[in-house]
Chain A
Amino acid sequence: MKTLLFLLLTLLCSNAFSQTTISGKIIDQQGSPIMEASVYLKGTYDGTATTEDGTFTFETTAIGLQTLIASSISFETYSKADDVTKLNMITIKLKDDVNTLDAVTVNAGTFNAGDNAKVTALKPLDIVTTAGALGDFVGALQTLPGTSNVAEDGRLFVRGGDAEETQIFVDGMRVFTPYSPSANNIPTRGRLSPFLFKGITFSTGGYSAEYGQALSSVLLLNSINEPQEEKTEISIMTVGLGLGNTQKWKKSSLSLNTSYINLAPYQKLYPDNNEWHKPVESVGGEAVYRYKFNNDGLLKVYGAYSSVNFDLTQEDINVADGIRFGLKNRNLYINSSYQDFLEKDWSIATGISFANDHSEIKYNTSDITDNENSAHLKLAFKKYFSSRYKLNFGAEYFATNFTENFEDSGFEDDYEFDNNIFSSFLETDIFFSKKLATKIGLRGEYSELLQEFNLSPRLSLAYKSGTNSQFSLAYGEFFQNPKNDYLKYNSDFTAENTTHYIANYQYVKNKQIFRAEAYYKEYGNLVKYDTPFALPTSTYNNSGSGYAKGLDIFWRDNKSIKNTEYWMSYSYLDTERNYKNFPTSATPDFASKHNASLVVKRWIEDWKSQLGFSYNYSSGRKYTDPNLGGFLTEEAKSFNSLNANYAYLISPQKILYVSVSNVLGTKNVNGYQYANQTNTDGLFERRTITPAADRFFFIGFFWTISDNKNDNQLDNL
């Protein structure tokens, strides 16, 4: 009987009597109650949600040490291990989750493209479907503010800087020769095909300490980690042919692309103002191999080879027969990167890139052979202490060897230099709250060639002023060794430098983005020389200087007009510099005071077509008129171009694409060339430098063959 009673008592106890009450209140950092937060004991069924005043109470049969978890959407999850009896009448303060979309982002100077970013200025498809960009991602970026349109060059000119001041990186590794060579006055194109990338970060200033050797801007491209499927792609274009294939295995994948471009048929139909002896012919191939290790590690190896060949005669006011220019270029680029997540919230990223660029140039009677070997090695670590505090540090080594052989009617000379740079960087990201964040970095660079060490501090700060708006500030110092054109003749230099000051305001609401950014940039130690061109015999020094200041405005609206997206950019630029052989401080000929562009895209459902327009305007650029005296005092007429494109989805896997640049055939002027000698009237005669052709047509047919009947090459265009 006694045993039975005891048993009964025990049962009763375990069933009903050993309940402990857990209770308390959950508040946010301002002390306001959080309702509907989830509170429970880990590993048990016991828990509840908070009421309107943030309080909670529940019973548990668990005893001893238990872990209490409190979580609510857009707050960091809280956990506390204690004896259950002590988890009564407690107050829990939840911290804002800083990883949400509505948290502040440190973004002064930066545009993001691709779907991985919080605020995307350009979407993946925009990179390739912007009218006038002709499938070149650089062309699409030129519709963003902060860039100057230099129609005859095609490269990126950012905020009063020349094209060499922008560096391009793929998966953190430097691309040494990102542009295909082209003749004078003919715009170049990027070598990298746009469909290899899933995310693009374009910084027009004030960028991270992880990147260096760029005075103005960096363009960071992230390649695709894993292709979606196996497929074969065939392209037939007015300018050539393309063939691609992707294979996938369990842990790895291989993509191959080949292209053959020949402009001869096009130039037969639409002759331009150059006399082509050998129209541009290029053969290229690229391969990407990706391997996923079991432990999240990812290895990517990218290799590209291209050869370009052309020969032409271009008009010149001082040479009656014109100037003969021929080029044979071959370029090999290899980029391998490995990234992995280690234990205790560490991650590692390492890589090596190598480029060999070989050019044989014929310039009238001169034969020039250039050979450049460059390599970049990098090792970087990241540590996530918490979502609020991250540390990123690493070291890298850049090596460049350049040789040139110059031969002209019996005269021969060789030039060579090694430009090796060792750098290391340290950067930290701190979120003080969901509203205030900062990034502080320091970069040190030692140049073996210049035998000097430079330290560049970088700082940015962002404050979220409202639900949809935020302010950011950035400051940074940037160093870059003088370009190859000077280093091959002289190495008694110091690095050129810039200091950036940036203030940014951004408003993002419901598929609309407004962004305004003001900046001031100071140039120091720019290279100067005392001859009309950089020559082996010139006297060089670093006494040049300059500034650039301006305002960039961006507006994108995907909401107001149905099936239509548009964006507008405007840049105001005030810049002067005294560098190269300038006798005085002046606005360089690549900079225009006002740049504006409008891009419109409309999807027409019934036609299964996308129609796109873009309009580019830039105010006239400076030139020197020797008849008037002065230096870079005259202004050429403004540049206007209306471009259109049309993509028609014949079937899910067949696309017809038509694109026309400068539809209206506006007669643009790239500049003027004056005669070296006066004519009989005592005047310097001039020749207007116009684009090689007013319009450019492109028609292409793209066909994708895959198991997935919906995939197409729209993203390649």
Chain B
Amino acid sequence: MKTVLLIATFIFTLSLSAQTPYEKGMNEAFALWEQQKNTEAVQLFERIASAETDNWLPPYYAGLIEIVSSFGLKDEALLNTKLTRAKEFLDNASEISENNPEIMITYALLNTAYIAFNGAKYGMTLSGENVAIYQKALAIAPSNPRVLLGKTEWDMGAAKFFGKSIAPYCEDVERAIVLFNEEEQTVPYYPYSGLERANEISANCKKETSPN
């Protein structure tokens, strides 16, 4: 009897304390992504998305990985296929969570992937779209550090192109760093990252705008 009870308790605890399938899946997907197994990571996020139909995070990450991994591609057909897929994921995510600034700026990143591939072909139409996305996102979430950083980086790129000083934008980077540090990280798996990038840009700022 005791043994039976023990086993029963063991099994109960196992099924209670164990991760939910969502947590297990997300952790596994992030691990795959970390190991650069992008295809597998996307596929797992896609599967999670198919099960968690009211959660925007799984399709968001599936799209994000497709976009990030398409930078540096040489084959336009593959680039287009990957980014088309990424857009489907993001469309799916924004259907679940409308006017979500995190998803909006990822659309801008998708456009940037096209522009980086061929600025002459895609730059004219997509760069204007990006500016509009950042403006809208900033209006919705003025203290979202990722939105602020994304917009600032974009403006810096344009300033550099025209040989202008990037100094005025460096203040925004510092402001983003403050916002990053103030941010309360409460939602599990929410894309809170970006502080590292902000610090990098800040360091670059100090180097470029220093008097010597």
Contacts and interface: CB of A to CB of B under 8 A. Distances in A.
Contacts of A228: 128-129, 131-132
Nearest to A103: B77
A510 B74 contact: yes
16 contacts: A1-B1, A4-B5, A5-B4, A11-B12, A15-B11, A43-B53, A45-B24, A47-B44, A74-B78, A101-B76, A115-B122, A558-B120, A608-B163, A707-B135, A709-B155, A711-B131
Nearest to A73: B81
A448 interface: no
A44 B24 CA distance: 13
Nearest to B8: A8
Interface centre among A7, A44, A73, A608, by most B CB within 10 Å?
A73
Interface in A491-548: 510-511
B47 interface: yes
Interface string A704-717: 00011111001100
B194 interface: no
Given A73-B82, A74-B81, A4 B4 contact: yes
Given A124-B124, A558-B120, A651-B162, A40 B47 contact: yes
A38 interface: yes
Nearest to B120: A123
A12 B7 CA distance: 10
Which residue, B14, B50, B74, B127, has most C-beta atoms of chain A within 10 A? Answer: B50
Contact of A652 (B21, B53, B158): B158
Contact of A608 (B5, B14, B25, B162): B162
A69 interface: yes
Interface in A99-125: 100-102, 115, 120, 123-125
B121 interface: yes
Most chain A CB atoms below 10 A, which of B74, B131, B155: B131
Interface residues of B, number: 47
Nearest to B154: A710
Contact of A125 (B24, B50, B124): B124
Of B7, B74, B120, B158, the most chain A CB neighbours within 10 A belong to B120
B80 interface: yes
B128 A47 contact: no
Interface in B102-124: 118, 120-122, 124
Interface of B: 1, 4-5, 7-8, 11-12, 14-15, 21, 24-25, 39-40, 42-44, 46-48, 50-51, 53, 74, 76-78, 80-82, 85, 118, 120-122, 124-125, 127-129, 131-132, 135, 155, 158, 162-163
Interface string A34-68: 00101010111111010000000000000000000
A7 B8 contact: yes
Contact of B40 (A49, A120, A229, A510): A49
Contacts of B12: 11
B120 A649 contact: no
Contacts of B118: 511
Given A8-B4, A565-B120, 20 more contacts: A11-B8, A11-B15, A40-B50, A43-B51, A45-B21, A71-B46, A73-B85, A74-B81, A101-B76, A101-B80, A102-B77, A123-B120, A124-B125, A198-B125, A228-B129, A229-B135, A707-B135, A709-B155, A710-B127, A715-B124
A100 B51 CA distance: 28
A4 B158 contact: no
B40 to A, nearest CB: 6
Contacts of A229: 128, 131-132, 135
Contacts, number: 114
Nearest to A198: B125
Contacts of B124: 115, 123-125, 714-715
A120 B8 CA distance: 68
Nearest to A42: B50
Contacts of A558: 120
Nearest to B125: A115
B47 A100 contact: no
B4 A47 contact: no
Given A12-B11, A228-B131, A708-B135, A47 B43 contact: yes
Interface string A90-101: 000000010011
A710 B158 contact: yes
B72 to A, nearest CB: 15
Nearest to A601: B120
Contact of B11 (A8, A44, A45): A8
Contacts of A8: 4, 7-8, 11
Nearest to B22: A45
Nearest to B119: A603
A635 B77 CA distance: 48
Contacts of B53: 43
Name the residue among B24, B39, B43, B162 with the largest chain A CB count within 10 angstroms: B43
B6 to A, nearest CB: 11
Nearest to B53: A43
A11 B14 CA distance: 11
A107 B14 CA distance: 62
Contacts of B131: 228-229, 708, 710-711
Contact of B46 (A1, A38, A97, A652): A38
A101 B81 contact: yes
Interchain residue pairs A-B with the least CB separation, the first 7: A228-B128, A101-B77, A38-B43, A102-B77, A708-B131, A710-B158, A40-B47
Contacts of A42: 50
A59 to B, nearest CB: 13
Nearest to B126: A115
Interface string A403-427: 0000000000000000000000000
Contacts of B129: 228
